Amino acid sequence: MDDLRENEAEDEEDDMKEPTLGNPQNTIEVLQKYNFIFQKKYGQNFLIDTHVLDKIVRAAQIEPDDCVLEIGPGIGTMTQYLSRAAKKVIAVEIDRALIPILEDTLGGYDNVKIINEDVLKTDIARLAEEENGGEPLKVVANLPYYITTPIIMGLFESGVPLRSITVMVQKEVADRMQTGPGSKDYGALSLAVQYYAKPYIVANVPPNCFMPRPKVGSAVIRLERYQKPPVRTEDERLMFRLIRASFNQRRKTLANGLKNSPELDFTKEEIESAIGQLGREPGVRGEALTLEEFANLTNILYNINK
């Protein structure tokens, strides 16, 4: 992992349209031209560092044949970079005030389609079908932090065809996605993400790379979608219920967490027997279990209930 402020990216010469955005001066010019007012409720922190932008686009490993979904293009800064790298970019932006700006900053970037919608309500599977013949998309975004988890989990759980997700998120959330048992950051999000994808933290990004500056540190994380989950479970829904129950009551033992969950109805004996079959002590906590153990526990309990 690199620290971006210390890593100078190399400029590559080519004959494609050069991005005009990505530095403080040009961003301010665009914002002033349109009298743009930042909407806090939309998590608007625009990138103003070209090295970070290059780094994200490189980490996304975009091929000339790729169709990219960008969530929240803002004033189109990263969109300009993505447009150069990809065959097509679909940019979904909720804030109507940004649409005329995007039409201006992305004028001449002919492979970009702007959609003025809430991404949580967008039918992304249909977009993939219409815009990419049903082939997997690559998602790239500087995400609005207030909805990071619903966006990422929505993309995974809906079964939208996806190759990878490369996104800027709050540093703490990136850590939670990447970590394993034994860390205080380990939890339901770690397990859910790692069931669907292989996470890799690409870089930490300090607040001064954004306008306005966020109050928290940020990180770029790449999630490479598995073709097949890394563990085998008889019942995915049951596994995620077990995971939620285990971490809802973090300070309790796994057995108590599962007994107290309104989503589960196993008896005390069934739960204790299943934990025993897993080869764990009765007092084990959920936070000690690996994804594989959650899958095994699911299969044991699933067969009890059959």
Which residue's Cβ has the minimum distance to ligand SAM?
72
SS3 assignment, position 149: helix
Considering the complex, what minimum distance in angstroms separates the CB of residue 290 from ligand SAM? 33
Considering the complex, what minimum distance in angstroms separates the CB of residue 128 from ligand SAM? 17
d(CA 306, CA 301) in angstroms, rounded, equals: 9
Other CB atoms closer than 10 Å to residue 292's CB: what's the count?
Answer: 12
Residue with tokens 């990219």: 68
d(CA 48, CA 43) in angstroms, rounded, equals: 15
* Of residues 19 and 74, the one with the C-beta less far from ligand SAM: 74
* Of residues 38 and 302, the one with the C-beta less far from ligand SAM: 38
The interface mask with ligand SAM, positions 144-183, x = CB under 6 A, is x--x------------------------------------
The interface mask with ligand SAM, positions 120-149, x = CB under 6 A, is x---------------------x-x--x--
Site for ligand SAM in 35-74 (CB under 6 A): 42-47, 71-74
Q: What is the DSSP letter of 78?
A: H
Q: What six digits make up the tokens of 272?
A: 């204790």
Is 83 a binding residue for ligand SAM by CB under 6 A? The answer is: no
Is the bond leading into 136 cis (omega within 30 degrees of zero)?
no
d(CA 133, CA 5) in angstroms, rounded, equals: 39
Q: What six digits make up the tokens of 144?
A: 């609005």
Q: Binding residues for ligand SAM, per CB under 6 A?
A: 42-47, 71-74, 77-78, 92-95, 98, 118-120, 142, 144, 147
